């Protein structure tokens, strides 16, 4: 009887651990974005035109990813988030992202290990920085984004914007936590129901 109860309990525990540690879907919320593409792609050499970036005005209170359009280069790039302007303090730096060589534009995602705290309505600046190699950064060539402007060689370009996305991305763990809580409750019930059996079978 004890063996059967313990086997049942360990089975439940294994199910809980499997549920909590299994790969979850990721819920992504894009806040500020400018993904309008012109008829012809406009790109800027990141090394030659640094400091290069895009100002933006968030509505969310944090971000942990930035997406940029890259092409025609092979590089390792990281992204800084500045407060106010390109010369403002750096609030966060993404993990370095390896961008493989490609002659076609592709979306490169930059992830922050710690979310960058933002104040909705304030101005911030996205600045990609080359760690090694070189690549081109895509621009929409138009001024479609009203919350900021492209920065090229340190100068604000009021008629231009980078192609960019920023926001927050988190695992959908809520359902697994609920499942784990429910199974833990069931596990407790099993122990309580069999407490008397375990006591009777235990030596005095």
* Cα–Cα dist 7/2, whole Å: 8
53-67, 108-122, 165-179, range with the lowest pLDDT: 165-179
Q: Which of 81, 78, 75 is nearest to 32 (CA)?
A: 81
The CA-to-CA distance between both ends of the chain, in Å, stands at 18
The residue range of the domain holding 72 is: 26-171
pLDDT tens-digit readout, 101-153: 888 889 999 999 999 999 999 999 999 999 999 999 999 878 889 999 999 99
Task: Give me the sign of the Cα torsion angle 30, 32, 38, 41.
Answer: negative
Place 36 in a pLDDT band, splitting at 50, 70 and 90.
confident
* Cα–Cα dist 128/47, whole Å: 10
Domain membership of residue 140 (yes or no) is yes
SS3 of 56, please? strand
pLDDT for 42 equals 83
Percent of the chain whose pLDDT exceeds 70: 70
Domain membership of residue 155 (yes or no) is yes
Domain membership of residue 104 (yes or no) is yes
Q: What CATH number is associated with residue 100?
A: 2.60.120
pLDDT for 138 equals 92
Domain membership of residue 114 (yes or no) is yes
Structure tokens belonging to residue 96: 């370095």
Per the structure, how many domains does the chain have? 1
Q: Which of 53, 67, 83 is nearest to 166 (CA)?
A: 67
pLDDT for 73 equals 84
């Amino acid at each position: 009887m004890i063996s059967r109860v313990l086997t049942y309990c360990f089975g439940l525990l294994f199910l809980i651990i499997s549920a909590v540690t299994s790969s979850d879907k990721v819920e992504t919320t894009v806040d500020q974005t400018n993904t309008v593409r012109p008829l012809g792609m406009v790109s800027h050499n990141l090394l030659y035109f640094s400091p290069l970036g895009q100002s933006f005005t968030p509505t969310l209170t944090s971000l942990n990813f930035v997406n940029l359009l890259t092409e025609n280069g092979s590089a390792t790039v990281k992204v800084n988030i500045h407060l106010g302007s390109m010369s403002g303090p750096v609030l966060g730096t993404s993990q370095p992202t390896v961008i493989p060589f490609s002659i076609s534009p592709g979306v490169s995602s930059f992830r922050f290990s710690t979310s960058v705290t933002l104040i909705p309505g304030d101005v911030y600046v996205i600045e990609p920085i080359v760690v090694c190699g070189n690549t081109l950064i895509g621009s929409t060539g138009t001024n479609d984004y009203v919350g900021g402007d492209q920065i090229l060689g340190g100068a604000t370009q009021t008629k231009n914007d980078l192609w960019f996305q920023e926001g927050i991305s988190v695992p959908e763990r809520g359902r697994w936590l609920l499942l784990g809580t429910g199974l833990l409750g069931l596990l407790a019930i099993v122990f309580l129901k069999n407490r008397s059996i375990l006591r009777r079978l235990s030596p005095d």
